[in-house]
Chains A and B, each alone.
Chain A
Amino acid sequence: DTEVTQTPKHLVMGMTNKKSLKCEQHMGHRAMYWYKQKAKKPPELMFVYSYEKLSINESVPSRFSPECPNSSLLNLHLHALQPEDSALYLCASSPPEGGRRFFGQGTRLTVV
């Protein structure tokens, strides 16, 4: 299994909603990442988890809250988002931290 699976594929939420994005990998990778990608822009790193501990937070607003329940799962909890947070949210994993990234297909998020 060489896949990173993200759910949902599409999400529309209001600014007062609370929702969660989920990511799962079964490749035994010990590093997992959240990226945000706007149209015609490269992915921007948000968070890195290494061995289930948060190792990098790229000064992301607190309305985004990551969680790594175990070595296979990564969540991104969303609360009180703004319309400018609408983007493609990509999860990725790598064997050790810093290795080649395996990307999921992403969640297309629209905040209304």
Chain B
Amino acid sequence: GQNIDQPTEMTATEGAIVQINCTYQTSGFNGLFWYQQHAGEAPTFLSYNVLDGLEEKGRFSSFLSRSKGYSYLLLKELQMKDSASYLCATNTNAGKSTFGDGTTLTVKP
């Protein structure tokens, strides 16, 4: 089965750093995606972690611990345009991907 938890809402200040956590219990786990979705738009890919550790891409980094069933997305130097929903999604050996409910991030001036 699939069980994914992430906070519903977070608020942060422009220029700051925010960490969005995601915990999961996924049978046949094979990796974890992070997507960003602005209201009324399609999700866009941010990162994919398969192995334990931190992957950095510019202002965004993603971390995975397979043994703990835990991931986080780290956003640095927050900008107003980063206000969006952030979805973590687990991937399985069978190729199925299940999304968490998403974290709505609001960036304030």
Contacts and interface: CB of A to CB of B under 8 A. Distances in A.
Interface of A: 31, 41-45, 48, 50, 55-56, 90, 96-98, 100-106
B97 A42 contact: no
B33 A100 contact: yes
A98 B102 contact: no
* 10 nearest A-B residue pairs (beta carbon): A98-B95, A42-B99, A103-B42, A97-B95, A105-B42, A103-B43, A100-B45, A42-B102, A106-B42, A42-B101
Given A98-B94, A101-B33, 8 more contacts: A41-B102, A43-B43, A43-B99, A98-B91, A100-B48, A101-B43, A101-B45, A103-B43
A48 B95 contact: yes
A103 B95 contact: no
B100 A42 contact: yes
A41 B37 CA distance: 11
Contacts of B92: 98
